[in-house]
Each structure stands twice: as structure tokens, then as C-alpha cells.
Amino acid sequence: MPGENLSRDEAQERAALLSVDGYEVFLDLRSAVGESGQEPRTFRSVTTIRFRSAEPGAATFADLIAPAVTAVSLNGKDLDPSEVFDGTRITLEDLAEENELVVDAQCAYSRTGEGMHRFVDPEDGEVYLYTQYEPADSRRVFANFEQPDLKAPYRFAVQAPEGWTAWSNGVGELTDGIWKFAETKPISTYITAVVAGPYHYVTDSYERVLDDGTRLEIPLGAMCRKGLAPHFDADDVFLVTKQGLDFFHDNFDYPYPFGKYDQAFVPEYNLGAMENPGLVTFREEFIFRGKVTTASYERRANVILHEMAHMWFGDLVTMRWWDDLWLKESFADFMGSFSMVEATRFTNGWITFANNRKAWAYRADQLPSTHPVTADIRDLEDAKLNFDGITYAKGASVLKQLVAYVGRDAFLEGARRYFKRHAYGNTVLGDLLSVLEETSGRDMASWSRAWLQTAGVNSLTPQVILNAEGRITELSVLQEAAGSAHQSAPPTGTPELRPHRVAVGLYRRAAGGDLERYARAEVDVEGPRTVVGELAGSEAPELVLVNDDDLTYCKIRFDENSLATLREHLGDITDPLARALCWSALWSLTRDGLMPARDFVSLVLRFAGRESDIGVLQMLHAWTNSALTHYAAPGWREEGGRALAEGALHELRIAGPGSQHQLTWARFFATVASSDADLQLLQGLLDGTAKIDGLDVDQELRWAFLSPLAAHGAADEQVIAAELARDDTASGKRHQVRCLAARPSAAVKAQAWASVVESDALSNALVEATISGFAQSSQRELVAPYVAKYFDAIERVWAERSIQIGMDVVRGLFPHLVSDEATLAAADAWLAAHEASAPALRRLVLEARDDLARALRAQLCDGAAAA
């Protein structure tokens, strides 16, 4: 709609004109329950905004996306809604120096996870509401000035159905049938929040005596749907919460500023979580209905701490515009791992960071859409897509490098000064760099230019020269920019070489066969070649690991001798972080078409069974699936799939009964099972005719086993319906929808396609489930007819649907499985013919096209290995 996509220029003009003194928002949510004769179902939203204008007589606009506006008044004068409201904006003319705007609107409940999301639990018919706004969906709930630098205090009031509880950012109290909430501190629109419904709610408290003797007490709460209450381990959530509050109070020297701390686990959530101050929202999948591994608990702890870090980085101090999104997301991503390792039981969090989070960053940084950590965000559509691997994981990796560069103490002291200097304000890049220069004495401008203001990833490769006695004469590190012979085609404008603080580790096999580090040196890598003088004279290494300890952000490459050692002895590396770094580097070689996919699969089959870190093992399984599905030569896929299934079943049978390794291998076996014997075993595990000692086939694992049976035609609609009857819950419904869409039938695919592309009846969660089931690697011929349909449909989908659903459809239905030159040509033809399409839509297609081109290059590499 016109005006829905706010531009940066418009936001800057409005910020120069306005300052906001406060909001009062009343929401009548009683319409959430009962029958509704109207579509869309709506609720009443009354907003009062008090604001000042720097130019009396000037004009501006307020933001609101709503089906109808009942009344608008500006400074006591009634305005005709039909004249001032266009569906996305309310025109405001002849402003006074001090103004009061009152807007009475009918806003729509959402089924897409944007704005005020309404969910009906199929298990008991209960209705649950929650809001999600970032970057700009609070205007779907109340009239406002929707940009991060127009902060203000808020007073919310909610009239909810009888028997419900409502929550918001401030402490609430039920008075005369209305929930009234304490006024917030000045915050941005996108982090205001409301949750309402018959939620199961658990309480606790956090207490601390501050350095000045003040006693700090923070009420804690955690909530979920009633149907999930039996699975809700709130005690562990509170434990991590308290450990995080201790850590941040110890290190930030700025007490938590937002009063209470509620955490809501909500249904059909699009994100992992959102940092609304005082009312953090999470996807309810963080409540585990069945047995999961330590990696799942670690992931939840990391997200809890990530969102908590936002209370300071993002909520207390907020970026001025979305260009500097990294000022909150990069810091929260880094601090999530930093605090988790130092304050919780998950002391191996940096291994997960190196193996998992950085993989996301490396992929994003090699796409044609890569951008500097500080990005150029023209408008809200750009902002929505910038919540990516660069902003989160690369930014966090760069901060990890920064800590190595300036030192931990200088980094944390810089953060403390930053909070105190800019509390409740908005900042840009220079504001942070200035305090870091003060505390470290380093030239932050040159560091920023190299790390924050350029795109792309460098590769670091060791070069070893030995003397006749088998000792190192010289060891150097070669640095190359993206686009070298060792990397895929570079994005436009890739960087000059960067300064890296790295550790270089030398490894040899000990007497027992273990591959252990016997020498290490830290060095500042500058330019194309850096000599590591400290290692001269060392015994000849069998493995040289550049970026040992994962201090910097780079692609690790190997010399020929090191690569040969890994092919034979990868499983002998005793240090789990070093092993994880090697796995990640080998995966990078595979993605870049420098190592055949079958070689990577072979390494996994040989050594993954010895992997002690469960998160690394799960990542290896995901990478191996991708290698087989996308990077293996078509003629080898069947053979490779059989080998993986055999290997997975072997590891499953020898894993410790009841162990998390057993569970992990069971899930992996289900994803690669395809033969009649494999499917019969899965069926037997479901019906009880087969058993593996210690493997508890709980409801979540039942769905994991049923999914491949459905995809291979061994479970029909009746079987899937029977499973839903066992698990008639919201989670069960999502699994059922995915399994139904996975069946190998042209009619099934047509129905799934129509339900997502031609209709908007499905909620966001069921759209996601349908897309997940639609494209199965064993069904390439069934999805081939949808290549042309995809390119015909996406522009219309983008125009007609919400941005979240548009992103889901454009990303999820791109025909990756039809990996041939014709599909690549179709993508190129669409891009050539749609140069005027929305930049965000073009970016999504361009990224998917690049993934396809990478897959084709890797397939050629893999095919050449068989020649």
C-alpha cells in the first residue's frame, strides 16, 4: 500500500520536526473470543499521542495500518478520517508547538505473526494473543510515529475477555475490568508489547544488592499456553535468567532499568525471540515436548541471554535508524555467547558459536547481497531483510575479534560508558567508536573501516617451509580477499585485506595416536603475507590450524599436508573447539566447490561417530544432508544416500542406550532413510514391532519417523490422521500439515501449492509447515513443473501478502531441487525482466539464484571426482 514502506529520508525529516512526550494506548480485545461475523476480525484501538513540533504550522503524518478509522482529532479539532487516513498514514497539518493527537481505530487481528497475532488452540479452543512489531508493525495495533528514534514513555490499558490476564512492558493491575499498566521509560515503538489470554503463568524473583548498597528486586514471570504447561520447565528458564542478570550487573555497571522481567513463550511465532523490555516474547518451540539434547537447552539459554543483553544494547540505547541495526543485534549475539559461557553450565558455547553461528555469517557474506555490518538501509523492506547472518553472526564475530584487539577490560568499560552517556537515547556508529577509543587507546576509525564498513570474508592459509632436519624454517599466513582462486565468485565491492588478530596452532600425533597441539603463537596478520616468527624452529607439524581458538572472522584454509592429515586423522583431534573449526573449514571447502561433496560425506561417515560435542554433531548432520541434496553429483546421490543411511543406522545401534547421541543419530537416520528396509524399521519403531535399546519413541520422535514414511508413500492420509488423533495439539497440527504436503503425489503438490500461493487462509505457522513438506529431495520430478509457476507468481505474492509471508513463500518455494542450468536461466530471466521490482524481492531471488549457482559448481566438482 502507498506509504506502508517508510523510507529513511522520510524518517529523518520527521525526526527533525517532532519530539514525542508520551503515548496512552487503550485496546479493547474482547472481540478476540466468540463468533465474528466480520472479516477481518478487528479490535478497538484508541491512541492519544502528545508531541511537539519544531516548526509550528508544519505538516507530518502518523502511521497506522487498520481496516477502519472511526475518529481522528488533532488539538481538539475533529478531522474527517476519509480525508486524512489512506490505509497506512494519517495526514497531520498545521501543527502547533505542542500537540495532542487522538485516533480511534478498528485494527485487525493477525494470522501472520505481525501486529496483534490471534491463535486458537485446537486442543481446547482457547484463544491466545500476543504482539510482534519489529521492525514496523506496532502501527498495526495503535497509531504512532513508527521509527526507532522517536522514543517516548507509554501507558497501556487493555480490556480483555473475562477470565483472561493481560501483560505489557510495565507492571499491570486489573481495575474495574481493565488492565492498566505502569508507564514505561522512553522506548521505541517496535519494542512495546501486549500479551493476553488464559496463559499458564509462573513467577519468581531476582534480588541483588548493588555496589552503592541499593537493594534491587526484579519480579520474574514466565508463561506459555495451558496445553504446554505439563512440559514447561520454568525453573530452568528462571535459573538462566538469574545467571544472566548476575552477569550483566557484574559487567555493565548499569542496573536493569525496566522494572519487571516477564518471558512469554507464544504460539506461531516468526522469530526466535524479541527483546520487548519487561515482556520478552519467545517461540514456544523452546518448550520441549519430548526428549532433546543438551544442544537444545544451550540454544534456549543463548536466546534468553541474547534478549537480556538487548535490555541494554537496543532498549536502553537504541540505534537511530536501521542502518545501525548491528548496534543492538551484533552486540546481543556476541553477549549471548559471552555471558552463557561465563555464567551458565553451557561452558562450550564458543564451540557452538564457531561451528554454527559463524557458518550462517560465512554463507551470508558470500551472497551477492552481502553488505557491510553497518548497512545502507533505504526503507522498511530493506530493514526487514537485514535481520541476517551479517548483522547478527558476522557482527558478533567481529566483536569477538574486537575484544581480542582492544582487550576485554577496555571493551566492557567502553560498554559501561556508552550506556551511561546515551541512556534512553539513540546512537550511531561514531558514538560507540568514541568510547572504545577512550578506553582502549586504539584507532577505532581504521578498525571500523576494515571490519564494519566493508563486506566479504577473507581467507587465511598457512605456508610452511621446513629445513633438512624437519623443523620449521618459516611459517607464514597468506591472506586473500573474497573472489580469489580459493573462493566462490565474489560479491560486488569485496574488501581490501583486513587486520586479523589470530592464533596459529601446530598439531602432531602423540604416542597414543591423539592429534594434539604442541605449539601456539598469536600474531597480527596484516596484508597478503605475514610471517609467524615465534614458530620458527618448531618441529614439523602434521596440522597447522590458522585461527586456532577462533579469535577472528575468516575462512580457514589448509596447506596440502594439513588437509591430508585431516582426511586420515580428523577424529583424533582431542580439543573440541579445534575439531569444530576443522569441520567448519572442510564444509567451507565443500560449499566453495574445492572439495567434492562425496569426500565430505565420507569424512562424516568416518569421524562423526567420534564427535563428543552434540551441537557439532547435529550441525554435521545438517551439512551432510545439504551436501547430498544440493552439492553431490546427481549420479552419485542414490549411492551416497544409501551410505549415509547405513552409517547412521550403525551409529544409532552402537550409541549408548538413552544417550543424546542415540537420539541425534535416530533423527538423522530418519532424514536419510529411503530403502524399503529403512522404512520398515521406522514403521516398526512406530508400531512397537521393532525396538532399539534405550530409544524412547516419544511423540516428537514419532512425527520425525512418520515424516519420511509420508514422503516415500509409506504413510497415507489416514495414517497421518491417526497420528494427529494421538497428538491433537497445535504442534501436532503443524506436523500433520507438513506430512500431508510431503506425500509423493502430483495432486498433493498442487493442493499444497494452491494453499500457500493462491490463498491466504493459512496462518504463518501452517504456511511454514506446508512449504517444509512441499519440496522433498526424493521428489524432484514432482516439483519440476513449479519452476515456471514460481517465477510467474512471486511478484503478485509479494504485492498482496504481508512481508513475512512474502519472504516465506519467495525463499521457501524457490526451486532449489530442480538444480539445472534451465532453472538458473529462469532465475536470470526473471531478474532481467524485473529490474523495477521491489529491491527486497529482488534480493531474495538473487540470493536463491546464487545458492543454486553454487550448488551447480559444487556438483561439477563432485562429478569430476568420479571421473
DSSP one-letter code for 186: S
For helices 395-406 and 444-451, what crossing angle results, to 10°? 150
The secondary structure element, H or E, covering residue 73 is strand 68-74
Buried-exposed string 210-219: b where 16+ CB fall within 10 A, e elsewhere: eeeeeeeebe
**φ, ψ for residue 593, nearest 5 deg:** 70, 25
Q: Residue 98: enclosing H or E segment and its boundaries?
A: strand 98-108
| Catalytic member of 298, 307, 542, 611 | 307
| CA 554 vs CA 111, 497, 584: distances in Å | 41, 11, 11
Distance in angstroms (rounded) separating the CA atoms of residues 720 and 386: 38
| Cα dihedral: 62, 63, 67, 69 (round 10) | -20
CB 349, CB 341: distance < 8 Å: yes
* Residue among 352, 355, 851, 865 at smallest CA distance from 629: 851
Quick one: how far is CA 366 from the chain centroid? 18
102 forms bridges with which residues in the sheet?
48, 73
Lookup: cell for 459 = 581467507
Q: Order of strands, edge to edge, in the sheet holding 115-120?
A: 115-120, 127-132, 194-197, 165-168
Euclidean distance between CA atoms 838 and 496, whole angstroms? 31
SS3 313: strand
3-state secondary structure 1-30: CCCCCCEHHHHHHHHHHEEEEEEEEEEECH
Cα angle for residues 692, 697, 698 (degrees, 5° grid)? 160
Q: Which of 780, 857, 850, 847 is nearest to 815 (CA)?
A: 780
Of 747, 681, 748, 746, which Cα lies nearest the Cα of 708? Answer: 681
Closest residue by Cα to residue 324 from 256, 371, 275? 371
The dihedrals phi and psi of 7, each to the nearest 5 degrees, come to -95, 160
138: nearest Cα among 85, 65, 30, 87:
65
Q: Which residues pair with 628 in a beta bridge?
A: none
3-state secondary structure of 477: strand
Identity at 307, one-letter amino acid code: E
Give the span between the Cα atoms of 345 and 353, in whole angstroms: 16
Q: Which of 518, 507, 646, 520 is nearest to 566 (CA)?
A: 507
Is 381 in the active site? no
Amino acid at the residue 461:
T
Annotate 495-540 with three-state secondary structure.
CCCCCEEEEEEEEEECCCCCEEEEEEEEEEECCCEEECHHHCCCEC
The torsion defined by the Cα of 400, 263, 729 and 113, in degrees rounded to 10, comes to: -70
Q: How far apart are the first and last CA of the chain?
A: 55
| DSSP, res 121 | -
Cα separation, 6 vs 14, whole angstroms: 11
Are 295 and 352 in contact by the 8 Å Cβ rule? The answer is yes
In 3D, which of 548, 446, 559 has the Cα closest to residue 501? 548
Angle at the Cα of 670 from the Cα atoms of 665 and 673, rounded to 5 degrees: 115
Enumerate the active-site residues.
Answer: 307
